């Protein structure tokens, strides 16, 4: 393909930058894929972001994409929306031709892998280059990424720290240049926690906005969403991921809007509720609190009407973990005794906690969840957006599975801002807004009204465009290049 030499390492380019280079003939999908694979070979042994790298099929997909771009440059048809962009898939999501082992020794590798989940199918149709599967804790069961099957995944900003979870492999991959885009899942914060810990942008869309199949055994708290280095990349990816799929009976009606349109419209005049603690978070790290407050001040400077106010609900931790433990107990009962003996001690502990809930207990949790959802729908009639810290703490030590006795506080007590909005199903994002004195990323969370995904992206982009400081969140400083 005729071109001038790229001016940067292609592994450090965003998806938007790669597509621009392809359109100009200044780089090719094969070059970009090889650059990313080289980065994976160099860094993945240490970070363990990928549990499977499909090098041969990725290069073939890149060659096919390159042929399409060559035709485009000769006046042929337009290429796919993500044609030639390297993408990774979390190892909870079905991917044709690749095992989906769910971070577990209980899944049989030797079986047909001939089905794409909706998100995987849409990415292939858009021409994306699927690099492989990213690491997850067993069944996505916690906010750290460690498992007996894949070991400990590490944070590119400090390899002694966790990238968070359960989409920790996806976040670590994007942060370290092992692909500009990744698909994660979020059942209690599992996109937003690792995106915040790794200095990425992450989006949990409105429930049903991105179709899922098969549906999560953990129920309607589970969302699928993008990890990216920029808000624009996430909007571009969402245009693909939100396309319909009849296999998901809970999915929303098709949304044919373009999330890139209006992305730069800013937030002037928007009504923003600012809640530093949601009224109950008692242990927010002072550096996190300070950095997020400074970011909120910038929202006012952008013309938003910011009011400090709490939504007025009590900590719903017991609702979240009760429903989650019940889901773990459900999965546990699909396993044979021999398989149960192979499980992660954290998952095993969650399942056994779930055993203690009666049918009446679960029904009461659902009723409490419904009341919370109704309360937030009413609260959001007064405000366009709610902003909070993304996570109450920066990334903590990377630890092995089973390091701490499992209970609700150990599981999620340190991330009080994430799980409420899985219960309410609202769209929520995390945008990096600063670094701690130890050089660890801090995240700012935007929560939108139900179905306000485009608004969450627009507000995230408005803040991203004016974010202060000289931190380049696309290049963690601890990693060799």
Which amino acids are annotated catalytic? 90, 166, 190
**Rounded to 5, what percent of the chain is helix, strand, coil?**
35, 15, 50
Report the 3 state secondary structure along 168-204.
HHHHHHHHCCCCCEEEEEECCCCCHHHHHHHCCEEEE
Contact partners, residue 172, CB within 8 Å, separation at least 6: 47, 49, 134, 145, 153, 154, 155, 156, 163, 178, 194, 198
* CA gap 204, 452 in Å, rounded: 11
Q: How many angstroms separate the Cα of 384 from the Cα of each of 209, 233, 371, 392, 453?
A: 19, 23, 20, 23, 12
In the chain, count H helices and then E strands. 15, 13
Q: Tokens representing 450? A: 């139900």
Q: Which residue has the tokens 């800013």?
A: 266
* CA gap 368, 458 in Å, rounded: 31
Phi, then psi, of 480 in degrees rounded to 5: -70, 150
* Nearest C-alpha neighbor of 252 from the set 76, 437, 425, 47: 425
* Nearest C-alpha neighbor of 265 from the set 452, 426, 465: 465
What is the sign of the dihedral through the CA atoms of 429, 432, 434 and 435?
A: positive
Report the 3 state secondary structure along 194-238.
HHHHHCCEEEECCCCCCCCCCCCCCCCCCEEEEEECCHHHHHHHH
Name the packing angle between helices 118-125 and 231-241 (round to 10°). Answer: 100
């Amino acid at each position: 393909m005729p071109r001038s030499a790229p001016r940067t390492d292609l592994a450090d380019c965003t998806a938007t930058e790669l597509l621009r280079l392809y359109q100009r003939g200044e780089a090719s999908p094969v070059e970009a894929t090889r650059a990313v694979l080289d980065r994976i070979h160099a860094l993945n042994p240490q970070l363990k972001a990928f549990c499977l790298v499909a090098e041969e099929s990725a290069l073939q997909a890149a060659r096919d994409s390159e042929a399409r771009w060559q035709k485009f440059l000769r006046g042929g048809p337009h290429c796919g929306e993500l044609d030639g962009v390297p993408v990774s898939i979390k190892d909870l999501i079905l991917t044709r031709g690749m095992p989906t082992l769910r971070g577990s020794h209980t899944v049989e590798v030797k079986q047909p892998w001939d089905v794409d989940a909706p998100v995987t199918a849409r990415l292939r149709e858009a021409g994306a280059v699927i690099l492989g599967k990213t690491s997850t804790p067993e069944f996505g069961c916690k906010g750290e990424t460690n498992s007996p099957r894949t070991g400990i995944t590490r944070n590119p900003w400090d390899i002694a720290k966790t990238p968070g979870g359960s989409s920790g492999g996806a976040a670590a991959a994007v942060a370290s240049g092992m692909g500009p885009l990744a698909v994660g899942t979020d059942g209690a914060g599992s996109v937003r926690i690792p995106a915040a810990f790794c200095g990425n942008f992450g989006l949990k869309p409105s429930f049903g906005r991105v179709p899922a199949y098969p549906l999560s055994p953990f129920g309607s708290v589970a969302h699928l969403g993008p990890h990216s280095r920029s808000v624009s990349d996430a909007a571009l990816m969402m245009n693909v991921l939100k396309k319909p799929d009849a296999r998901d009976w809970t999915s929303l009606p098709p949304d044919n809007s373009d999330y890139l349109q209006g992305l730069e419209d800013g937030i002037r005049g928007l009504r923003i509720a600012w809640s530093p603690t949601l009224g109950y978070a008692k242990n927010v790290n002072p550096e996190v609190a300070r950095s997020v407050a400074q970011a909120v001040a910038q929202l006012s400077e952008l013309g938003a009407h910011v009011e400090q106010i709490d939504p007025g609900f009590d900590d719903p931790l017991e609702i979240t973990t009760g429903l989650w433990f019940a889901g773990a107990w459900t999965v546990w009962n699909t396993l044979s005794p021999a398989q149960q003996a192979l499980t992660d001690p954290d998952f095993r502990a969650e399942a056994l906690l779930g055993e203690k809930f009666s049918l009446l207990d679960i029904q009461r949790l659902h009723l409490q969840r419904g009341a919370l959802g109704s309360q937030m729908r009413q609260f959001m009639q007064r405000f366009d957006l709610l902003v909070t810290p993304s996570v109450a703490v920066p990334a903590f030590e990377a630890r092995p599975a089973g390091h701490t006795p499992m209970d609700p506080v150990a599981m999620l007590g340190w991330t009080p801002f994430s799980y409420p909005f899985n219960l309410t199903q609202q769209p929520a994002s995390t945008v990096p807004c600063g670094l701690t004195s130890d050089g660890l990323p801090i995240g700012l969370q935007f929560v939108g009204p139900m179905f306000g995904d485009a608004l969450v992206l627009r507000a995230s982009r408005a803040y991203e465009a004016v974010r202060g400081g000289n931190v380049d969140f696309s290049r963690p400083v601890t990693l060799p290049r």
